[in-house]
Structure 1
Amino acid sequence: MKRLLCCLTLCCGIFAAAMPASGQAMMAAKPKAPASPPAAAVSVIGNKSFWIAYSSPGVKGRAGKIFTADGLIKTAGGSQYPIWRTGANSATTLIVDGKVKIGDITVPSGAYTLFADISDQNNWTLIISKKTGQWGLSYDPADDLGKTKFTMSAPSSMVENLKWEITDKGNGMGAITLSWENHTATVDVDTH
């Protein structure tokens, strides 16, 4: 019994002595942040709720090389250029809780996936797909609810991380905006 207690005491002592070193190593090894962290835009326009869930990639020193004919979007592995997933990773999701009009598209209450046709880097088209839950690169035109033109502009300064915004303009009107790098694309929303 004495021998067992001595062994246990010795083992516990070794374990306790090693613990601070391994704890320090664990503290030094911080978890790596995702390259394109999850993000969301949420708002109410009129009496309708809007929610966009997406992953937000960064420019990361590639300014001027994202949307060009030989840029990141076209050369990304598995890309369906000129159709872009409007984010990274899983498909960008739009959820509305009532019938609305987004640009020229009548959108019933429900969940949708957002894509963009960026074949002309200065004139984009928003694509609203009825299919949801897919990886962002899985686009099939047979699933389109509709397409509508974005109004394009340049941001006041380069937008490092992709950002979706939903803006209430009052009286049941609003806008959905996508900004990244040196592009801003906006589409009007009508909740009447």
Structure 2
Amino acid sequence: MKKLKWILIVFIGIILLMKFVAMPYMQKQTKKHSPEQTANYHKNNKDLKVIYSSPSKKGRILFGELIPYNHVWRTGANEPTSFITETDIKIVDKNLPAGIYSLWTIPNKEQWNIIFNSEVPEWGVTILSGGKETTRNPENDVVNITVPTEKLTKVIEKFTIDFDDSNELALFLAWDTTRVNIPIN
């Protein structure tokens, strides 16, 4: 009985060590390679913010290989990308109430599915899958739209999310030679 008690104490100690020491250390290390970025938009009665981690291309083939087509991507690195709106808005023609959302995408060569999910998990992928499976719960999807891709002539080295209001307001994602625009009304 005493041996079982010690095994249980050691097991709990290992779990606590992983949660409070190893995971924060790993998160800090990954942010060195994919630093956290913020995009803000504060105009026309809209207060929008995106927080994401920005990996670099580093000569890799990204879409279709590193980021497979037709699979959910956490849209950046590390934690899932967070999209925050202080007011109710529309993404294309779908209502997105004020709140905090995780932003997920399903890349494809000619179009991407864009998903706003009401749950923002701690980490975007499962560790046991080696990063191949996301932690997104589809039951919490609030908005799911499809937008076309745009082929760029210049390579974008670092994954970038920002707002563009040169015509109509849009959130854009750009990396390598791919850009997608997400209209915000």
TM bucket (normalised to shorter chain) is 0.7 to 0.9
Q: Which amino acid aligns with 1:66?
A: L
**Residue pairs, 1:154-165, within 5 angstroms:** 154-165=151-162
**Residue pairs, 1:1-192, within 5 angstroms:** 34-62=32-60, 65-68=61-64, 71-74=65-68, 82-118=71-107, 120-137=108-125, 138-169=135-166, 173-190=168-185
Instruction: Give me the TM-score of the superposition, normalised by structure 1.
Output: 0.71
Instruction: Report how far residue 146 of structure 1 moved.
Output: 1.6
Instruction: Report how far residue 143 of structure 1 moved.
Output: 1.1
Unaligned runs of 5+ in 1: 1-30, 75-79
Q: Is the 8 A contact 2:121 2:136 kept in 1?
A: no
> For the aligned residues, what is the CA RMSD?
2.1
Q: Which amino acid aligns with 1:67?
A: F
**2:139 alignment partner, SS class:** helix
**Corresponding position of 2:129:** none
Q: Which portions of structure 1, spanning 4 or more consecutive aligned residues, are displaced by more than 3 angstroms? A: none
1:115 to 1:33, Cα distance in 2 relative to 1, 3 A:
closer
The structure number with the bigger radius of gyration is 1
Unaligned runs of 5+ in 2: 1-28, 126-134
Q: Whose relative contact order is higher, 1 or 2, with alpha carbons under 8 Å and at least 6 apart?
A: 1
Percent identity (aligned): 28
Alignment deviations for residues 4-23 of structure 1 (CA, whole Å, 9 cap, x no partner)? xxxxxxxxxxxxxxxxxxxx
- Distance in 2 separating the partners of 1:49 and 1:134: 24
**2:79 alignment partner, SS class:** coil
Aligned length: 148
- Distance in 1 separating the partners of 2:116 and 2:141: 6
1:73 to 1:48, Cα distance in 2 relative to 1, 3 A:
same
- Distance in 1 separating the partners of 2:149 and 2:66: 20
Instruction: Give me the TM-score of the superposition, normalised by structure 2.
Output: 0.74
